[in-house]
Amino acid sequence: MIQKILWVALGGAIGAVSRYLAGGWIHRISGVDQFPIGTFVINFLGCALIGLCAGLPTHELSDHSRTFLIVGILGGFTTFSSFGFETWVLMREGAWTLACLNAVGQVVLGLFGVGLGTYLAVRLSAT
């Protein structure tokens, strides 16, 4: 178990640094200032990569490699890829209600959470 945790930690560090560097680079080369293009591209790329890794036959990637790549690197690169993959699995299994609940619920609750956190930060800093 500790070995898996270390692989996730190492992969997560690689993914997070990659996200930071790639996001800045994409933003600079795009010239787009009014839209979070770096995050947009990274989320798409992360989803495509998690689909690729998860779609490979189990004999192509060991359990440790899957953990390192999917949970570690891609989890650090973008948790949106996990969200996309989990929603895709629900759709593939025919659980359309759960897939829709997951997709809409995470977006709505995520936005609510950001709003709530911002509101609380403003209220706490005013006291």
Which token pair is 106? Answer: 């995470």
Distance of alpha carbon 13 from its chain centroid, rounded? 14
Cβ-based neighbour number of residue 60 at 10 Å: 10
Cα(66)–Cα(75) distance, integer angstroms? 11
pLDDT tens for the chain, 127 residues long, are 899 999 999 999 999 999 999 999 999 999 988 899 999 999 999 999 998 988 888 778 888 888 999 999 999 999 898 899 999 999 999 999 999 999 999 999 999 999 999 999 998 988 7
- CA 12, CA 19: separation in Å to the nearest integer? 10
Q: Which of 41, 43, 47 has the alpha carbon at shortest distance from 26?
A: 41
CA 87 – CA 15 distance, rounded (Å): 21
Residue 45 has a pLDDT of 95
Q: What is the pTM of this model?
A: 0.79
11, two tokens: 């992969």
